[in-house]
């Protein structure tokens, strides 16, 4: 394995480093709960999908009620199914007492309906965007994108999945029975106080962002899901505010990555571990035909030792601390009565046409800066916008870049400190280089997230096929939500 997993950390020195990242992880000792499956809402026929932004209470732990936010439910939102060539009509109603903007992450739609911070929905107000879905099959998501409050609102629950289907993907022998052999898996981490309430503070956030100590999957701690004795597809979303995860199975079984953020890879890529940055989606297929349970482990980066691998890292970590092994973040258990998908995986999934070098006409560089200016509060917390891109913190009144519609550009991205997951609205792009090295096979698909660090440049080639105006520009930003809320974001038009 050639790329570096354990390279992070903003060794900022001083008090900032003794943060949530050093807390031991915790887990529930009670009987495992079942994996919650968000209800599937069919948006394919253009019927409006009603999404009420509301508060609620959700039991992350049995018997403990936690105040939360959600879309038409207590925590998270329904999975919205749409299709290439159809109109997706959304109807948001904000019943909260604060403004909320909701963005469709990964969607190729004009800036007007992209749902950036300029589209904040006032308390009591509605927003009814109509989205023409032109892109191929992919796992996307929607989440709060409220100016300065994205981290907090996502943390409390404002996120959900959008599944795009198309004819080509339909014709492939892949598992596609939602909730049976095609499971949504939203990975997040949260910290709870003694009363079971969610603990969050942008002001007190660690340099790495807000790191929870407890992993939750679809809002449950270490849940169990029954699956058929065949191929099972997991649509993984790293929906954490700030954590990178190393993902693999407790028995080290091989799985196949079939899709990146923006759609199917050219061919399945066999893996035993992979890294997922905040905001990233990976579709994987795991074979459950042997009937044995499979434990999906989601390691924190500082727990992962590349030499030891996933299983060795876990053993070493918990031997060292004298504690027992944590249960897997999600356990798949075979139920032989469920209809199983046993066809072999197709060798070819999609065709990805990369631009010719002569087609790439523009280029831009983006330098992400930690603590570029701005203020620390009197007590050492973070006030205002002290993180920047190319020297500028996010300002709703400033358009940072103007991009031409329909032409390929090369964007190079780097940071002055640490690793950051960079996201661009309104497109899918292709990664040419990641931190100076060629993109690994499992990242050679359509993407809207790319990891970069301070060592070397990451490079993407990108083209925008939809307009974004000055009034409703697109955003590019770090998807560590506390970095975004602290200013590591910019606005751009496409025209
Ligand atoms: Cu997922 Cu601009 O965000
Ligand atoms: Cu986005
Ligand atoms: Cu960042």
280 within 8 A of 238, measured Cβ to Cβ: yes
Q: How far apart are CA 19 and CA 284, in angstroms?
A: 33
pLDDT at 320: 73
- In tens, the pLDDT along 304-351 reads 888 888 888 877 777 776 666 778 999 999 999 999 999 999 999 999
Q: How far is the CA of 14 from the centre of ligand 3 (A)?
A: 19
- Of all protein residues, the one whose alpha carbon is nearest to atom 1 of ligand 1 is 105
CA of 486 to the centre of ligand 1 (A): 14
Q: How far is the CA of 111 from the centre of ligand 3 (A)?
A: 23
pLDDT at residue number 12? 34
| pLDDT-wise least confident of 24-28, 227-231, 402-406 | 24-28
Closest ligand relative to 422 C-alpha: 3
The ligand placed nearest to the CA atom of residue 239 is: 1
CA of 485 to the centre of ligand 1 (A): 11
pLDDT by residue (tens digit) across 280-298? 999 999 999 999 999 999 9
Ligand 1 atom at minimal distance to the Cα of residue 116:
2
Paired tokens of 363: 């280029």
d(CA 453, CA 81): 35
Q: 275-285: string of b/e by CB count within 10 Å (b at 16+)?
A: bbbbbbbbbbb
Q: Is the CB of 483 under 6 A from ligand 1?
A: no
119 in contact with ligand 1, CB cutoff 6 A = no
User: In the prediction, which pLDDT does 288 show?
Assistant: 98
Q: Is the CB of 257 under 6 A from ligand 1?
A: no
- Ligand closest to Cα of 242 equals 3
With cut-offs at 50, 70 and 90, classify the pLDDT of residue 74: very high
CA distances from 108 to 82, 105, 416, 420, 429 (A): 13, 9, 30, 23, 11
Ligand 3 midpoint to CA 209 (Å): 8
Ligand 1 pocket, residue 281 CB under 6 Å = no
Nearest CA to ligand 1 atom 3: 105
Distance of CA 339 from the midpoint of ligand 1 (Å) = 36
> In 3-state terms, what secondary structure has residue 167?
helix
Check if 105 has its Cβ closer than 6 Å to any atom of ligand 1.
yes
Q: Which atom of ligand 1 is nearest to the CA of 141?
A: 1
Strand-pair category, 40-42 with 79-83? parallel
pLDDT at 92 over 50: yes
Is the distance from the beta carbon of residue 143 to the nearest atom of ligand 1 less than 6 Å? yes
CA of 386 to the centre of ligand 3 (A): 12
Angle at alpha carbon of residue 169, lines to 167 and 175, rounded to 5°: 130
Q: What are phi and psi of 394, to 5 degrees?
A: -50, 125
Answer whether 415's CB lies under 8 Å from 368's CB.
yes
Class of domain 40-170: mainly beta
Domain 357-494 CATH assignment equals 3.30.420.10? no
pLDDT grade, residue 206 (50/70/90)? confident
Measured from the alpha carbon of residue 454, the closest ligand is 3
Task: Tell me what the mean pLDDT of segment 3-22 comes to.
Answer: 38
- The answer for residues whose C-beta is within 8 angstroms of residue 195's C-beta and 6 or more apart is none
For residue 10, pLDDT beyond 90? no
For ligand 1, the distance from its centroid to the CA atom of residue 43, given in whole angstroms, is 21
**Residues within 5 Å of ion ligand 3, judged at the Cβ atom:** 420, 478, 480, 483
Q: Which of 210, 100, 212, 191 is nearest to 480 (CA)?
A: 210
The pLDDT tens digits for 232-245 are 999 999 999 999 99
> Residue-wise over 440-463: b if at least 16 C-beta within 10 A, else e?
bebbbbbbbbbbbbbeebbbbbbb
Residue with tokens 């990555």: 257
**C-beta 231 within 6 A of ligand 1:** no
Count CA atoms closer than 13 A to 202's CA, side-chain side.
Answer: 22
Third-level CATH fold of 11-28+173-334: Immunoglobulin-like (2.60.40)
pTM of model > 0.75: yes
CB distance 54 to ligand 1 below 6 Å:
no
* Two tokens, residue 30: 């009670």
Shortest-distance ligand to the CA of residue 141:
1
Instruction: Determine the atom of ligand 1 nearest the C-alpha atom of 484.
Output: 2
* CATH 2.60.40.420 in the chain, residue ranges: 11-28+173-334, 40-170, 357-494
pLDDT at 253 over 80: yes
CB 61 near ligand 1, within 6 Å: no
pLDDT of residue 429: 98
| Ligand closest to CA 417 | 3
According to the 3-state scheme, what is the secondary structure of the chain? CCCCCCCCCCCCCHHHHCCHHHCCCCCCCCCCCECCCCCEEECCCCCCEEEEEEEEEECCCCCCCEEEEEECCCCECCEEEEECCCEEEEEEEECCCCCECEEEECCCCCHHHCCCHHHCECCCCEECCEEECCCCCEEEEEEECCCCCHHHHHHHCCEEEEEEECHHHHCCCCCCCECCCEEEEEEEEECECCCCCECCCCCCCECCECCCCEEEECCECCCEEEECCCEEEEEEEECCCCCCEEEEECCCCCEEEEEECCEEEEEEEEECEEEECCCCEEEEEEECCCCCCEEEEEEEHHHCCCCCHHHHHHHHHHHHCCCCCCCCCEEEEECCCCCCCCCCCCCCCCCCCCCCHHHEEEEEEEEEECCCCCEECCCCCEECCCCEECCECCCCCCCCEEECCCCEEEEEEEECCCCEEEEECCCCEEEEEECCEECCHHHCCCECEEEECCCCCEEEEECCCCCECCCCCEEEEECCHHHHHCCCEEEEEEC
pLDDT band with cut points at 50, 70 and 90 for residue 188: very high
């Amino acid at each position: 394995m050639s790329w570096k997993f354990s390279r992070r950390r903003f060794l900022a020195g001083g008090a900032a480093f003794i943060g949530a990242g050093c807390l031991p992880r915790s887990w529930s000792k009670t009987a495992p709960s079942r994996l919650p499956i968000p209800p599937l809402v069919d948006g394919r026929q253009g019927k409006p999908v009603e999404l009420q932004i509301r508060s609620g209470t959700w039991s992350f732990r049995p018997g403990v009620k936690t105040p939360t936010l959600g879309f038409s439910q207590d925590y998270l939102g329904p999975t919205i199914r749409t299709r290439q060539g159809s109109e997706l009509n959304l109807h948001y109603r904000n019943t909260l007492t604060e403004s909320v903007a909701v963005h469709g992450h990964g969607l190729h739609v004009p800036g007007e309906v992209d749902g950036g911070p300029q589209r904040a929905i006032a308390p009591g107000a509605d927003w009814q965007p109509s989205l023409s879905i032109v892109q191929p099959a992919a796992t996307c998501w929607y989440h709060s994108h409220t100016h300065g409050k994205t981290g907090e609102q996502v943390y409390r629950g404002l996120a959900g999945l959008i599944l795009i289907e198309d004819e080509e993907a339909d014709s492939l022998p892949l598992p596609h029975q939602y909730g049976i052999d095609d499971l949504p898996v939203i990975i997040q981490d949260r910290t709870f106080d003694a009363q079971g309430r969610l603990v969050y503070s942008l002001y007190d956030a660690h340099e790495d962002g807000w790191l929870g100590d407890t992993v939750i999957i679809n809002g449950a701690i270490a849940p169990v899901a029954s699956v058929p004795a065949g191929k099972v597809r997991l649509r993984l979303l790293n929906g954490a505010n700030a954590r990178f995860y190393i993902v693999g199975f407790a028995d080290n079984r091989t799985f196949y990555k079939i899709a990146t953020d923006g759609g199917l890879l050219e061919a399945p890529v066999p893996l035993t571990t992979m890294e997922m940055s905040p905001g990233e989606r990976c579709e994987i297929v795991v074979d459950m035909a042997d009937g044995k349970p499979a434990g999906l482990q989601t390691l924190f980066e500082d727990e992962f030792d590349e030499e030891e691998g996933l299983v060795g890292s876990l053993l070493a970590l918990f031997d060292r601390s004298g504690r027992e092994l944590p249960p897997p973040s999600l356990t798949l258990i075979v139920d032989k009565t469920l209809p199983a998908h046993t066809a072999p995986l197709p060798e070819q999934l999609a065709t990805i046409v990369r631009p010719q070098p002569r087609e790439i006409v523009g280029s831009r560089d983006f330098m992400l800066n930690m603590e570029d200016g701005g203020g620390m509060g009197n007590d050492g917390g973070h006030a205002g916008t002290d993180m920047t891109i190319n020297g500028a913190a996010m300002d709703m009144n400033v358009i940072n870049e103007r991009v031409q519609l329909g032409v390929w550009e090369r964007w190079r991205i780097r940071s002055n400190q640490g690793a950051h997951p960079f996201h661009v609205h309104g497109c899918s792009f292709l990664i040419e280089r990641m931190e100076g090295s060629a993109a690994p096979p499992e990242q050679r698909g359509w993407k809207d997230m790319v990891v970069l660090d301070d060592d070397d440049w990451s490079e993407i080639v990108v083209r925008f096929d939809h307009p974004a105006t000055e009034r409703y520009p697109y955003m590019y930003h770090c998807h560590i939500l506390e970095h975004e809320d602290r200013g590591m974001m910019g606005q751009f038009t496409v025209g």
